[in-house]
A and B are shown apart, each in its own frame.
Chain A
């Protein structure tokens, strides 16, 4: 074990210098590496496990099915990542998806056209996120209380608006969105890829991204330096709401109708994907690729278990175990 000793003097030497890249062996014995890459390691592990046990799993058709099924969760995980990066949490995410879907369905049924319906759905969920942010910052109410309240409130609103009934959405645009392919991937997958790229640039290559991480890291220090931390937090919740809106369009396209029902596993899995992706729940540390791969991993897990004919009742159990394990590994993050 000469590697840590080799690296040690470098940090004591005078002058500003670049860190030497640690070797692969040093990386592999570093628990922090495993914490940062938990989602990738988990995904590779699952692919090997299911690839060996189920011949269908690695087939092109199944891979495409996993990617399609993961698209919604990837988009939601990105929204959740922005909020968690500010050391908050958005529990209203899945309810927002439902509200977006209901509004999409109702506006479309009213004959305003599919584009107006999609835009209004996204506006409504973004407004929900904005309201979350304002209540948390200006109202000084803890994030989980506000978003739990919003969760209940917009669940009720969705039920009231829809009368508890699903609305069929027969739209060729949504049908194409759900079933069309461009190259190897379906359109929903491209939407998710675009969301990942935009979010990655926003987080790592803009002032907003740095301010977001600073706000999540030490809000008081950040505001002492003139960063408007309340605005940053409101923006994060609004982004989360926006992502919920995009997800609601993908969801309605996928199932062909707008249902006033909340898919609670979407909410839990969005938090799970964020944890698996190495994002610190205490804020200040985040990536976009990590949660996206985490979302992919959770989808692959459900897919693989289904292929192995494991009862659906075991799936939440498996997700729970993996998430707690991931959180345990996170303790070793530097």
Chain B
């Protein structure tokens, strides 16, 4: 079992020390240290209830941790809400909270960061610019959708996830956090989303990936962090580990 080793702060896009969070009497995790290297895909794995999702929510400002410090991009950064995290350059692809079904692809990609033209005191949407840029964003990541003016409701699960990731990456985010991005997808769709994550890394975007799928984690990530029962118990380089070792770390059999 590897020890939790620390890297130089300048190498880490996101790091935390001594982080704790509990809800009433139930502790989600205690004294967690974690780092994600710049330009890498960092995976967090663990069993259901190990505290992965809560940890990530604390890191991106959805929850406020009870104790500990968070560093983002070299500076101490306690985000009090997701908006602050987003403005600093952290985008999150949530497991269930993804897209608005009734809006179009372009509207979803630009939701809450719409392009507007100022006409006197009024700010009107520049729908053409948004459609054009939406097409450019999608083709940069080789995402296929029939039309950017189509309602998201009519797209497949894989297309929707691709659009969520595109939206997260499209705003020039430094770090994209994904919670189980392929949980509900078929084999081919999962392969497409994995290709998309590799593409993000090629383009220099740091990624934090939460997953249950150990094979996927080994395929995609550079560094793996293991949580068990509210603790960060190990971290390994993906290239130096095996599926069996990961299973042992997650279950505590090692």
- A214 an interface residue at 8 Å Cβ cutoff? yes
| A19 and B146 in contact, given A210-B107, A210-B111 (Cβ under 8 angstroms) | yes
| A221 and B99 in contact, given A207-B116, A210-B125, A227-B112 (Cβ under 8 angstroms) | yes
Give complex CA distance A280, B101 in Å. Answer: 13
Partner pick for A19 among B82, B86, B147, CB 8 A cutoff: B147
Give complex CA distance A225, B125 in Å. Answer: 18
Q: Shortest distance in angstroms between B166's beta carbon and chain A's nearest beta carbon?
A: 11
| A284 contacts B82, C-beta separation under 8 Å | no
Binds A, one of B148-156, B197-205, B232-240: B148-156
Q: Shortest distance in angstroms between B233's beta carbon and chain A's nearest beta carbon?
A: 29
| A220 and B150 in contact, given A15-B144, A210-B103 (Cβ under 8 angstroms) | no
Q: Shortest distance in angstroms between B191's beta carbon and chain A's nearest beta carbon?
A: 15
Query: Chain B interface residue count: which class?
Result: 35 or more
Contact partners of B111 in chain A: CB under 8 A:
210-211, 214, 222, 225, 227
Give complex CA distance A210, B97 in Å. Answer: 17
| B124 contacts A201, C-beta separation under 8 Å | yes
Determine which residue in A11, A18, A210, A216 has the highest number of CB atoms from chain B within 10 A of its CB, and name it. Answer: A210
- B83 an interface residue at 8 Å Cβ cutoff? yes
Contact partners of B82 in chain A: CB under 8 A:
224, 226
Count A-B contacts at CB 8 Å. Answer: 91
- A140 an interface residue at 8 Å Cβ cutoff? no
| A222 contacts B100, C-beta separation under 8 Å | yes
| A17 contacts B139, C-beta separation under 8 Å | no
Taking CB atoms and an 8 Å cut-off, the chain A residues in 31-56 that contact chain B are none
Q: Shortest distance in angstroms between A200's beta carbon and chain B's nearest beta carbon?
A: 12
Give complex CA distance A221, B138 in Å. Answer: 21
Give complex CA distance A10, B145 in Å. Answer: 10
Partner pick for B124 among A10, A17, A205, A224, CB 8 A cutoff: A205
* Interface residues of B, Cβ cutoff 8 Å to A: 62, 81-83, 86, 92, 94, 97-103, 107, 111-112, 114, 116, 122-125, 127, 134-135, 138-139, 144-151, 153-154
A-B contact pairs, 24 of them (CB 8 A): A10-B146, A13-B146, A16-B145, A16-B147, A18-B147, A18-B149, A205-B127, A206-B122, A207-B123, A210-B114, A210-B125, A213-B100, A213-B102, A213-B103, A216-B102, A217-B101, A217-B102, A217-B103, A218-B100, A221-B94, A225-B112, A227-B111, A284-B102, A285-B102
A-B contacts besides A211-B112, A226-B86, A334-B153, 8 pairs, CB < 8 Å? A15-B144, A17-B146, A206-B124, A207-B114, A213-B102, A218-B100, A221-B97, A224-B97
